[in-house]
Amino acid sequence: MVCAGLDLHKSFCQTNVCTKEGKLVKEGRIKTEKEDIEEFFSDLEDLTIAFEASGNYEYFYDLLESFGHKVVLAHPLKTKMMAEAKIKTDKIDAKTLAELLRGDFLPTSYVPPKEIRELRHLVRHRIFLGRYRGIIMNQIKTELRRKNIKYPDGAGIFMGKGKKWLCSLKNPVIDSYLAIYETVDRELKEAESEIEKVGKVYEEVRLLTGIVGIGMYSALIIYSEIEDCSIFSNEEKVFSYAGLVPRVQQSGKTSYYGRITKEERCKRCGNSSSEKTPSGNLPHAEK
């Protein structure tokens, strides 16, 4: 078995490849282009590659798998705690990943199937659009308050007669925000339409919509983020992964429970040498 550690950056990645016994095979800095990555690892067999979970991990994970290599995603926080160093360079980071991997000490992150990851991106896109639309609405209301213009509470001013009333004010700031609002609202409705279409494909999503208060959008969020409850050993770990566990500060007989934490993650079942923790946070849906 050959182990490789990758320290990923936008335009390059630092690599360190060693045998299971720790003998250095090769190392270097290569561009994050498909051809460069394929060429660097082309002469290596029985190769396992590790790199930390990041915003662009999916591309490299799928790419390296397509080349026939085994890929392991490292949990960034736990890896840093295990390999804290006063001197930190790209070469040291790559070597650390390779060393932890060959010693079977690498704390890993769970990587969902590509299909589930695409569902996550779809609902997270809808969440972003909803939040952004809310920001635009608040900016318009702020401008109305700044001009001391009275308006009804709620979202009524952004519908029908309310929207016509806003346009009649001839306020350049409000007109600008309304133009942005229209675009975002249109994109949001298109995302919701796609969610309705995609959600009908999955039996799990259909069953979730049978619960009072859960529509297709909420059901697809739950399904794409939790995926399969059977991979958790108990419900407490599901709550932890979903970010529904409160912060606790305890001293003596006094306990303080704060806001929910999205940092703690559950251990995946059937794991012995490393803690497999899911990658990515569960975003909060627009209320």
How far is the C-alpha of 11 from the C-alpha of 166, rounded, in Å?
A: 47
How far is the C-alpha of 16 from the C-alpha of 4, rounded, in Å?
A: 5
Question: Would you state the pLDDT for residue 236?
Answer: 78
Do residues 223 and 235 touch, judged by C-beta distance below 8 A?
no
Q: Are strands 245-251 and 109-110 parallel, antiparallel or unpaired?
A: unpaired
DSSP summary character for residue 278 = E
Question: Would you state the pLDDT for residue 151?
Answer: 85
Q: At what angle do helices 216-226 and 172-199 cross, to 10 degrees?
A: 70
Which residue, 255, 267, 261, is CA-closest to 281? 261
Euclidean distance between the first and the last CA atom of the chain, given in angstroms as a whole number: 50
Which residue, 255, 223, 258, 256, is CA-closest to 242? 223
Radius of gyration of the chain (CA): 24
Question: Would you state the pLDDT for residue 246?
Answer: 66
Q: Which residue numbers in the chain have pLDDT < 70?
A: 81-83, 85-87, 155, 243-246, 257-287
Do residues 55 and 78 touch, judged by C-beta distance below 8 A?
no
Question: Would you state the pLDDT for residue 227?
Answer: 85
Backbone φ and ψ for 83, nearest 5 degrees, come out as: -125, 40
Which residue, 208, 57, 59, 53, is CA-closest to 123? 208
Question: Would you state the pLDDT for residue 244?
Answer: 62
Classify burial at 148, counting beta carbons within 10 Å of its beta carbon; exposed 0-12, middle 13-18, buried 19 or more.
exposed
Question: Would you state the pLDDT for residue 272?
Answer: 31
Which amino acid, 113? P
Backbone φ and ψ for 252, nearest 5 degrees, come out as: 65, -125
Backbone φ and ψ for 161, nearest 5 degrees, come out as: -60, -35
